[in-house]
Chains A and B, each alone.
Chain A
Amino acid sequence: MRLDAIAKVIRSKNAGPCLLTLDVMLPDAATFAYVAARIDLLRRQVARRYGRSENEVAVLPYAPALAVKITLPRDVLAGDVGDRDVYGAQQHAPLLDIEL
């Protein structure tokens, strides 16, 4: 299943100037359980799409909001020379067509 077909929210934002944090919010407990059971696959896919090694990508299920949080280093420090997205608010696109 494609992530953008099952998620209610897929968003990105800085978590401080060094890190990017991506939230995938699922619509119900069953879908959350489905994604939470595939954390390793998700981490691999994210690492590949964002050009990172798997150990740089943290994936954390957050049951209170039926969400999965993904945190990884930004490619460029926020606002530094060559940055393309100071707030990191448009870095979610590579997640959209991940197949789980």
Chain B
Amino acid sequence: MLDDISRRRRPLRSLGASGQLGYGIPTPAFEAGLARSPDMIGVDMGSIDIGPSYLGGGKMAPTRVGAKRDLRKVLHAARRLDIPLIVGSAGSAGARPHLDQTLDIIREIAREDALAFRMAVVASDVPRVAIKRAIANGRVRPMDTMPPLTEADVDAASHIVGQLGLEAFRRALEADVDVVVLGRACDTGIFASIPALLGFPPGIAMHMAKIIECASLCCVPGGRDTILGILDDDGFELESMAPHRAATPSSVAAHSLYEQADPFEIREPSGRADLRQVAYRALDARRTRVEGATFEPAERMTLKLEGARMIGHRALLIAGAADPQFIARHAEIFAAVARVVRDLVCEDAVEDYRLLFRLFGVDGVRAWAEPPAQLPRETLVMGECIAPTPERAEEVIRTTKQYLLHHGYEGRLSTAGNLAFPFTPPEVMIGEAYRFNVLHLMDVDDMAGLFPVEVEKVD
């Protein structure tokens, strides 16, 4: 398949179909993109922004129905045009359960729609023994504000994945396949791996990849419509496949800021793209040409590890309050109720849970240093309990509801109840709660040994 691409054309046309597969791929822009004879279709399914629950719990962020609808769309298109389909960060968090759910959907579509293709799969789960060995050898470093990684962290995490880079995508593509699916992976690898195989300059390819993996987010107005990136040896051109979205020099340049601490560089396991010398030039009102990114290979391959561990079971209380005194004195009321609850639920048990309150309107979104100048007329009260078992979390939150409703405080006027329940029961069982406990960098010598390519004939 790669021979076909290299024979067919230079420049290379890449279609960024969706920045978050499973939430809908608008058909008009996608079809417009397919009409432009793309050489590949790429989709990213993942992000770490969605928090630790998906990684820890092995669950996809979108629904299976949504993921299947979108995968069906891109699979059919890729087979129709006979071009590679590359999927990164399968099933949102990219661990084995997410990858398996994604592969299961793909096989199901192939079966239902009589599609036949070769598929390469690379799982990104990192063997615990390899991480522990790396810790012992001083080859693991914390990211940002994380503490050093311990063996206990490694054992406690329910899943630990490594963000695979373009090297892994490359190995998958070299297996002569039609479809590539990776577990957790750098989004740049989706679109920079074919250029790497075809010998395009890596800095420019990585820069393009970083932009088109978000579909038309780099445009004004930004959105999720399919985008076309046309790569040559000196730069690339961007064009949204939705006519009302324009890729302008400033909108494209601004995209480098998005969710990045440093807008001048893009990192992946094999090195970094430097964007300091990049120039953005309008080709017309809707298309921008970008040149100038350079690539600096890393001295050694570095893998970004992500892991999440379960911390208990979460239950919520959701209610409203409109009494000015209750709102003004919420802190002391919450503290008093927490004590009453503790005395009750800990009569025969230890205090094995966390109970937290947020008062939306006052401190729901930020833990502000000072209260607002004027208190709100209405507030949302959210109680949250995290406990070792679902039963314990439910016990604590139901008890909290009862005593917060009827808590008597000095000067209280509303003696029939402190809370407004928009519905009952006002207690919600959320399920397992997780925290990120692994966000570290690990030096790796043998990526292929840790993350082998599995090839499968789907029909």
List residues of A whose CB falls within 8 A of some B CB. Answer: 13-19, 21, 23, 25, 51, 58, 60, 62, 64-67, 69, 71, 73-75, 77-82, 84-87, 90-91, 93-94
B interface SS class? loop
CA distance A17 to B308 in the complex (A): 12
Chain B residues lying within 8 Å of A73, measured Cβ to Cβ, are 144-145
From A15, A51, A91, contact of B261 by CB (8 A):
A15
CA distance A86 to B434 in the complex (A): 12
Q: Cβ of A79 and Cβ of B367 under 8 Å apart?
A: no
Is the C-beta of B320 less than 8 angstroms from some C-beta in chain A? no
Chain B residues lying within 8 Å of A66, measured Cβ to Cβ, are 250
Is the C-beta of B416 less than 8 angstroms from some C-beta in chain A? no
- Interface residues in B405-442 by Cβ distance below 8 A to A read 433-436, 439
Closest B residue to A66 by beta carbon equals: B250
Q: Cβ of A16 and Cβ of B254 under 8 Å apart?
A: no
Q: A18-B146, A25-B257, A79-B52 are in contact. List 11 more A-B contacts (CB 8 A).
A: A16-B261, A21-B260, A23-B254, A77-B145, A77-B436, A78-B52, A79-B435, A82-B356, A84-B366, A87-B50, A90-B365
- Interface residues in B248-262 by Cβ distance below 8 A to A read 250, 253-254, 256-262
Q: Cβ of B49 and Cβ of A62 under 8 Å apart?
A: no
CA distance A62 to B276 in the complex (A): 10
Q: Cβ of A67 and Cβ of B257 under 8 Å apart?
A: yes
CA distance A25 to B353 in the complex (A): 43
Chain A residues lying within 8 Å of B354, measured Cβ to Cβ, are 81
Is the C-beta of B358 less than 8 angstroms from some C-beta in chain A? yes
Q: Cβ of A17 and Cβ of B439 under 8 Å apart?
A: yes
Closest A residue to B249 by beta carbon equals: A64
From A21, A58, A77, A85, contact of B259 by CB (8 A):
A21
Q: Cβ of A14 and Cβ of B259 under 8 Å apart?
A: yes
CA distance A91 to B51 in the complex (A): 16
CA distance A15 to B356 in the complex (A): 26
CA distance A5 to B84 in the complex (A): 48
- Interface residues in B272-320 by Cβ distance below 8 A to A read 278, 280, 311
CA distance A97 to B358 in the complex (A): 24
List residues of B whose CB falls within 8 A of some A CB. Answer: 48-53, 143-146, 250, 253-254, 256-264, 278, 280, 311, 354, 356, 358, 363-367, 369, 386, 433-436, 439
From A21, A25, A81, A91, contact of B366 by CB (8 A):
A91
From A19, A21, A64, contact of B278 by CB (8 A):
A64
* A28: min CB distance to chain B, Å: 11
CA distance A83 to B358 in the complex (A): 10
Closest A residue to B306 by beta carbon equals: A17
CA distance A21 to B386 in the complex (A): 28
Q: Cβ of A51 and Cβ of B369 under 8 Å apart?
A: yes
Chain B residues lying within 8 Å of A85, measured Cβ to Cβ, are 365-366
CA distance A89 to B259 in the complex (A): 10
Q: Cβ of A62 and Cβ of B435 under 8 Å apart?
A: no
* B182: min CB distance to chain A, Å: 20
Asked, given contacts A17-B48, A84-B358, A94-B366, whether A64 binds B259 with beta carbons under 8 Å apart, the answer is no
Q: Which 4 A-B pairs have the closest CB atoms?
A: A79-B51, A18-B144, A64-B253, A65-B254
21 contacts between A and B (CB under 8 A): A17-B439, A18-B146, A21-B260, A51-B369, A64-B278, A67-B254, A67-B257, A69-B261, A69-B263, A75-B367, A79-B52, A79-B434, A80-B435, A81-B311, A81-B386, A82-B356, A84-B363, A84-B367, A85-B366, A87-B50, A91-B365
